[in-house]
Amino acid sequence: MRRMLTCLLLSLPLLASAQIYKYTDAQGNTVFTNQPPDGSAAQSVELPPTNTVQMQAPNTPPASSSPAEPQAPYRTLQLTDLPDDAALRANNGTFSVGVSLEPALASSHRLRLLLDGQPYGQPSNGTSLQLTNIARGEHSLAVEVLNGTQRIQQSDTVTFTVQRISVNSPARSAP
pLDDT at 72: 78
pLDDT at 167: 67
* Cβ pair 111, 145 in contact under 8 A: yes
pLDDT tens readout for residues 12-37: 665 555 688 888 888 888 888 888 77
**Which amino acid does the sequence have at 73?**
P
* Distance of alpha carbon 133 from the chain centroid: 30
Give CA–CA dist 94/72, Å, rounded: 31
CATH architecture of 76-163: Sandwich (2.60)
Pick 157 or 18 by higher pLDDT.
Answer: 157
Give the residue extent of every domain in the chain: 2-45, 76-163
pLDDT class of 66 with cuts at 50, 70, 90:
very low
**Which amino acid does the sequence have at 31?**
V
